Structure 1
């Protein structure tokens, strides 16, 4: 008996999920060898996460939902690492495995969602395979801290899929699906607020790919409820949601705004189309005037592209047959441009360009590319094109994953690819070597910098600690003395100098130093200092450092609210 097209489609639907999972694991399985890196991993996200390195406590949940971590309101993201820790401890492989599983689930959701929305299993399969292996996702998957991207997209895609399952159903069932979609969307917002574009993606999906005639009352009601809910969420968490990435002090002229906006989209299109020379850090030039190529090509080109999208959208809404032909490509374009909108300069940011910003938007790119590949008329040529693209992306991904193995490898790659000031390159590499415990190499990088010209007390403290670690005590002492003279209000270098004196058993000098800054300590801190000297005098070294630790924590906690001002004053005097 000959097979029918329906039988072939069903066979693809059964096999596709297994191939998507297999391919995702194949290109990313070696990410489990990667460790943590000094690119956000070392702060409150992972290595200083207040909920890790401790047994599970149910109080973690209300704490996570009522505070910001590392300057962001992202409780679901933070708690996901608690799960990793409870299962794997602080083994980096466990954290990377969580990212790999989430990325694989996202690829599967791309397949199921695209298949249901377009009713084309072949298109969904190719789209999911391209998404699974695209090199632009390496940063999101192979970097432990980028869990925010993989997890937020999981909730966003789950929200889309649950909503779409209710489209065309009877009212009560649709209402349940819509409510569940909103709950999932809120979970995504509590992971990374940029998934707030999802209601817009749902709107365009219904107009381009939804059943006819349109259920306008449902569409409008859902959109009003969804956007109202998101506005309430943003208002309620605004102080925490803004986070460290948004800098209100960054100011652009209107011309700079327009130029940067178009250049960012152009760069993102380039990264998606040509994912070579990828980097963890890109240097963006802020232009003060329009270059001829921007006026002649970039702005007209992108404007025409967006104009075409709206014209085709209007035609597709009016013509169901046209929507069936062009709907997937149009919706892919909407996903791409809308998914990137939060990462343009509509808000002042510290980082304007990063591979991870394409994680959601790339779904649209993969859908467009899959649609174009499947339009190749000759079956053998079409199959060859699909295989070549997937293989090419897979090889590039496999090659890039080890770049995130450790800090030195990561920043060596950045330094090689990025045109930046030599001092900044040396500083990046010094910090990378220091994070990996390679202090001799870190010091060589620090010494290649023009340290005398850098009025940064925290940098000087880092260099002094590096000298101390490699045994160059006198060099460390010189820096501590310089900082104490320039910054008598900043007690951190004072404490480091006292610690160095105690470590070298120079108690008289330690007492003189403590007396010199006596009025800077509280009564309790003075008593702790006396305990330190008394215990050191009788050789009870272990207890000395226990008391010293309590003393240092007291000073750190007491001066934390004014630390930034103290450092600024110190910088002015260096």
Structure 2
């Protein structure tokens, strides 16, 4: 095996080893919707279900405008092999990231980079902190799988194997729609490379993309465009000028995250970063940088076609999420930089290669700069992996770094209420409402918090306010169920039954249905509903374990209650009511022996 091959393997190992801490992380954030609550991930053999549904499942078909059947299939295979154990999903993601890093090095060499320069590009890609947003969550599978297949298509394209490239590109498009940018990058390369392999070769990747677009339209009934709420993408329904300034702002932000990934966020919804609706300094700088990058790509096409191709690998995939095309489901996300950043890493490798051919001092300085960047990025990535340990940690970190993020504040408020910290929960929900009280989410969070604190009047008031606004049906149904189960169990039973039938019904709906059944004197149905909740819970839940234990204790089954109460106590050792219930269960169980 050559030194280049050995080093490429080493880069793959580095990529996996640096992020191996994710193996111990829970499923977090969007994983609950894309994996745990998505009925398609429980159907590994039902190809029709995967190819005729949107990414988030049948219930979100018309709303989401994402069609990624290959990704959902791999998630379903994960679930078939290991259930909802997070380790399996994380292990596959690690493998895909390792492959992607190796492919960046191989593609760099195929594009004409010196071995050292290609390896530098691969190593930079392997350790870049902005990639943690794609590697750490299970839902990042879409970006990882798409990138591996798109880079494989690029490598086959450089090796003059157009059939293999077309097949890999088709699979990449079935993994995530951003691969349409890879199709454009391949077409650009066919037009600009010195040894063009046929007059119409550029048309092949575009034909593959056109076929995919037709299939996507047949399933979703739309060529593109999501329907996000005002928090997820504040400029989704704004005018052309606001979207153009936003495009400049986001381009500047993307480059800043690549160069200096200091502050990283799992969620850029309102108001993590204030959207640019006018000619701000950042937006103007972004447009200037974008124009410069495009000009560099075009001007390099004749004399430096390899550099032009690398910049195309950055610009073309990024264009899909640039706010210059269809409406996006989010304002910005770090994970969408996963494939585009490969182009920038390759461009850095190209610069390193040029420096290596210059004076010795320049070569040494370039090598030292890359080494320092790789070391610094490695440390930042390792720290960032820990931020994704679980929902509570991720929500708290997001609030710390983006204190006006309404979604993060609402999520952190629910977390605080679940662990019995009433003061923190109320403070967080009030902060969320202070930022935006004209959208449903903070009111749903307030209703949930006040319900857990036993304040029926305020819980009902915020619930009514939320239901009077456009809202997420699943979240609203579960919150209504939770409020009624605590204060009106007779009314809660039909409401909670409806919530469990809603698309993406999660474990909370079943748990509160169980509580409602129990409080209306139907313990058999209550236990069955608890069983459904436990079956759908992908991660340990203090609230679910505690409520199930209390149910068993009240039904005169203290020995059975010990296990769930012990689990709740281990998850929340600072909650005295859980410790008391566990002690009571153990004492009662011992007395019956």
Range class of TM-score, shorter chain: 0.7 to 0.9
2:477 and 2:40 map into 1 onto residues whose CA distance is 29
Mapping of 1:85-484 within 5 angstroms?
85-118=79-112, 120-165=114-159, 167=160, 177-208=161-192, 210=193, 212=195, 214-223=196-205, 225-239=207-221, 242=224, 244=226, 250-282=236-268, 283-291=272-280, 299-313=287-301, 315-316=302-303, 326-346=304-324, 347-374=326-353, 375-376=355-356, 377-378=359-360, 380-418=364-402, 420=404, 426-433=409-416, 437-440=418-421, 443-445=425-427, 448-449=430-431, 454=437, 463=446, 465-466=448-449, 472-473=453-454, 475-476=455-456, 479-480=459-460
1:124 and 1:444 map into 2 onto residues whose CA distance is 53
8 Å Cα contact 1:199-1:223 kept in structure 2: yes
Check 1:233–1:57 CA distance in 2 against 1; reply closer, same or farther (3 A cut): closer
Q: Does 1:35 align with 2:23?
A: no
What displacement does 1:151 show? Answer: 1.0
Deviations 1:112-161 (A, max 9, x none): 22222326332221111111111111111112221111011112122222
8 Å Cα contact 1:73-1:241 kept in structure 2: no
8 Å Cα contact 2:183-2:206 kept in structure 1: no
What displacement does 1:366 show? Answer: 0.6
Residue in structure 1 matched with residue 72 of structure 2 by the alignment: 78
TM-score (norm 2): 0.70
Between structure 1 and structure 2, the one with the greater Rg is 1
What displacement does 1:195 show? Answer: 0.7
2:279 and 2:520 map into 1 onto residues whose CA distance is 72
8 Å Cα contact 1:201-1:334 kept in structure 2: yes
8 Å Cα contact 2:217-2:223 kept in structure 1: no
SS at the partner of 1:107? helix
2:207 and 2:342 map into 1 onto residues whose CA distance is 25
Mapping of 1:52-63 within 5 angstroms?
52=41, 58=45, 60-63=46-49
Q: CA RMSD in A?
A: 3.9
Note the residue ranges of structure 1 that are not aligned, 5 or more in a row: 1-9, 168-176, 317-325, 504-509, 516-531, 551-574
What displacement does 1:439 show? Answer: 4.6
1:250 and 1:538 map into 2 onto residues whose CA distance is 45
What displacement does 1:349 show? Answer: 2.5
8 Å Cα contact 2:225-2:328 kept in structure 1: no
Which of structures 1 and 2 has the larger relative contact order (alpha carbons within 8 angstroms, sep 6+)?
1
1:364 and 1:486 map into 2 onto residues whose CA distance is 44
Deviations 1:161-182 (A, max 9, x none): 23333x1xxxxxxxxx433432
What displacement does 1:398 show? Answer: 1.2
What displacement does 1:299 show? Answer: 4.0
8 Å Cα contact 1:77-1:148 kept in structure 2: yes
1:537 and 1:424 map into 2 onto residues whose CA distance is 32
Check 1:309–1:476 CA distance in 2 against 1; reply closer, same or farther (3 A cut): same
Deviations 1:430-487 (A, max 9, x none): 14446xx535357444564587995777766655555555xx55x2476359868998
1:18 and 1:255 map into 2 onto residues whose CA distance is 47
252-261 or 12-21, larger mean C-alpha shift: 252-261
8 Å Cα contact 1:110-1:127 kept in structure 2: yes
Note the residue ranges of structure 2 that are not aligned, 5 or more in a row: 57-63, 469-475, 495-513, 533-593
Check 1:102–1:241 CA distance in 2 against 1; reply closer, same or farther (3 A cut): farther
What displacement does 1:105 show? Answer: 0.8
1:262 and 1:491 map into 2 onto residues whose CA distance is 38
1:450 and 1:264 map into 2 onto residues whose CA distance is 24
1:537 and 1:94 map into 2 onto residues whose CA distance is 38
439-448 or 337-346, larger mean C-alpha shift: 439-448
1:293 and 1:496 map into 2 onto residues whose CA distance is 44
2:365 and 2:462 map into 1 onto residues whose CA distance is 71
